[in-house]
Amino acid sequence: MLSEEEATRHDERQTPFEPLRKAIAEYKEAHPDEGSRKKLAVLIGTGSMNPVHRMHLTMFDIAASYLERHANIHALVAYLSPSCDDYVNHKLGTDAIPSIHRLEMCRLAAE
């Protein structure tokens, strides 16, 4: 069993926070007056990503656009979060792509 420290330790390889830090800094620089700043959001898309496809990415554009227009919220970054192998294997059986490959596909799609 993981200790509380191990459970809360962040692994930059699993969820890279540097893009978020950069987006926050850029947003603050572009909006130096706090009164002109909007609420900020981080978008997270989960699912099998077996394989990741254009609609997985398009959903972020749709969500960001909706938040901007209807809720006055600016989406800073979006993360693709593929489901674990146990879930995908159970759901898709022999059609399941191993997580190491799904993760790499997500990384490439995000570029």
Q: Which residues contact 98 (CB under 8 A, 6 or more apart)?
A: 85
How does pLDDT run across 54-73, given as a tens digit for each residue?
999 999 999 999 999 999 99
pLDDT for 11: 74
How does pLDDT run across 71-106, given as a tens digit for each residue?
999 999 999 999 999 999 999 999 999 999 999 999
Do residues 37 and 27 touch, judged by C-beta distance below 8 A?
yes
Do residues 74 and 30 touch, judged by C-beta distance below 8 A?
no
Measured between alpha carbons, how far is 20 from 26 in angstroms, rounded to an integer?
10
Predicted model pTM: 0.81
